[in-house]
Amino acid sequence: MGNVSTLGLQQPLPEEYLEATEAELDERIARARRALGLDLVILGHHYQRDDVIKFADHTGDSFKLAAWAARQEQARYIVFCGVHFMAETADILSRTEQTVILPDLSAGCSMADMASLEQVEEAWESLTGRLGPSLIPITYMNSTAEIKAFVGRHGGLVCTSSNAAAAVRWALERGERALFLPDQHLGRNTGVAMGIPLEQMPVWDPGEGLGQGVLRSVVLGREGRLEWGGQSWEEARQARLILWRGHCSVHQQFTPEQVDYLRRQQPGIRIIAHPECSYEVVQKADDAGSTEHIIKQVAASPPGSIWGVGTEIHLVSRLAREHPDKTVLSLTPFACACSTMYRIDQAHLCWSLESLDRGQVVNPITVPEQAAADARLALDRMLTLK
């Protein structure tokens, strides 16, 4: 992740916040919020821990939150309870007089970190050099500001899990092929749903360092499981959607065996998975879609419904509490929490707010002006999708 888009480095959390009880932190957070008034908005991502999200003025996915905050004309400070790329997106979309704050700069995203600018530039040079220039880049919202800016400069766009198919169609109307960054699973599941054959969706594997990138095929093997294969550049000329070898560490944990087990244990269960899950899991699920889609489907289902949900455990637990007339279960009995999202806790939130109340900004997120302008091009193209 680095510190290219932040002012300063992570500051140590003062000892007084580590020693405070949950009740004390609750009281202090509430007091600081009242003091800051309309100058402040607190954003809480769906995967955020419960003891923090209860303070959010608005909850949702990363793009929805960032766009909402930018429309709050009186807000001077946007405190984003999420991860680093989300706060970057909020800064890209916010007005110059607004300051975006991430309570803990160590709250990163392993998926976003799987595609560095240097790796993407190397892949782009290799792919366009071998396959020709008619390549349109798409980056998932879960990527760094640098990657969004790269995509903007090269005529591409950003997508969310809700509009990934529309983004792929947009790209393939403008080029022979699309490069989908950084989540191979969302890209593959989107392509399969659109009717793109697996053999036309090779994967760029960046390797462990620069100069080690290679394009590899992925084929359907025994029992419906994907297997890695080789890839000649001649075969690659048939590619329509080139996927980046990245993944979400949370959604990667779900397996098709877990789906089978839940079906045996809970007759009549409906399985719904996030498209960041593997191809094998999504193929076994009854439905797949974004976080917002999962929330809506569970909410709209009749009383007595039984759901197996393949996504982050904080959201699954919250859905279970909010819908006591339904049974909502995680696909796995082992908690799949986003460990970096979990770093935003009451102590860091309290520290951020009390610092603002004293006139001090800790852990601001600022994307350099040119990178922000290029990234906005990619985001603006996304907003034209139908």
184-193 helix and 164-172 helix, angle to the nearest 10 degrees: 80
Distance (Å) of CA 376 to CA 24, 100, 139: 41, 16, 13
Q: 208-261, pLDDT tens digit by residue?
A: 778 788 999 998 888 889 998 887 788 888 999 999 999 998 899 999 999 999
Average pLDDT estimate for 38-59: 92
Tell me how far apart the alpha carbons of residues 182 and 356 are, in angstroms, rounded to a whole number.
Answer: 35
Rounded to the nearest integer, the mean pLDDT of the chain is 92
For residue 291, give both structure tokens: 């976080």
Is pLDDT at 113 greater than 90 in this prediction? yes
Domains in the chain with CATH codes: 15-107+340-366 (3.40.50.10800), 112-248 (3.40.50.10800), 251-330 (3.40.50.10800)
Is residue 344 a contact partner of residue 43, using CB atoms and an 8 Å limit?
A: no
Full-model pTM:
0.92
Instruction: Compute φ and ψ for 198, nearest 5 degrees.
Output: -55, -35
Backbone angles phi, psi at 258, to 5 degrees: -65, -40
Retrieve residue 102's tokens. 């991430």
Q: CA-CA distances (angstroms) from residue 371 to 82, 171, 182, 269?
A: 21, 22, 18, 46
Q: Does pLDDT of 7 surpass 70?
A: no
- CA 202 to the chain's CA centroid: 22
pLDDT at 133 over 50: yes
Residues 145-194 pLDDT 10s: 999 999 999 999 999 999 999 999 999 999 999 999 999 999 999 999 99
Neighbours of 227 (CB within 10 A): 10
Query: For residue 70, is pLDDT > 90?
Result: no
Confidence of residue 9 (pLDDT cuts 50, 70, 90): low
pLDDT at 232 (0 to 100): 78
Q: Could you tell me which of 80, 88, 81 has the C-alpha nearest to residue 113?
A: 88
pLDDT band for position 3 (cuts 50, 70, 90): very low
Residue whose C-alpha is closest to residue 330's, from 273, 247, 375, 252: 273
pLDDT the model gives residue 79: 96
- Does the pLDDT value for residue 340 go beyond 70? yes
Cα distance between residue 368 and residue 185, in whole Å: 30
SS3 breakdown of the chain: % helix, strand, coil, rounded to 5?
A: 45, 15, 40
CA dist list (Å): 118 to 122, 149, 207, 210, 222 = 6, 13, 12, 8, 36
Rounded mean pLDDT, 359-363: 95
How confident is the model over 303-309, as a mean pLDDT?
A: 98
Query: Mean pLDDT across the stretch 57-83?
Result: 88
Which secondary-structure segment (H or E) carries 383? helix 369-383
Helix (H, G, I), strand (E, B) or coil at 141: coil
Provide the percentage of residues in the chain whose pLDDT is more than 90. Answer: 78
Q: What pLDDT, in 10s, does the model give residues 114-123?
A: 999 999 999 9
Residue that wins the pLDDT comparison between 361 and 339: 361
Quote the DSSP letter at residue 6: B
Q: In the predicted model, is pLDDT for residue 80 greater than 80?
A: yes
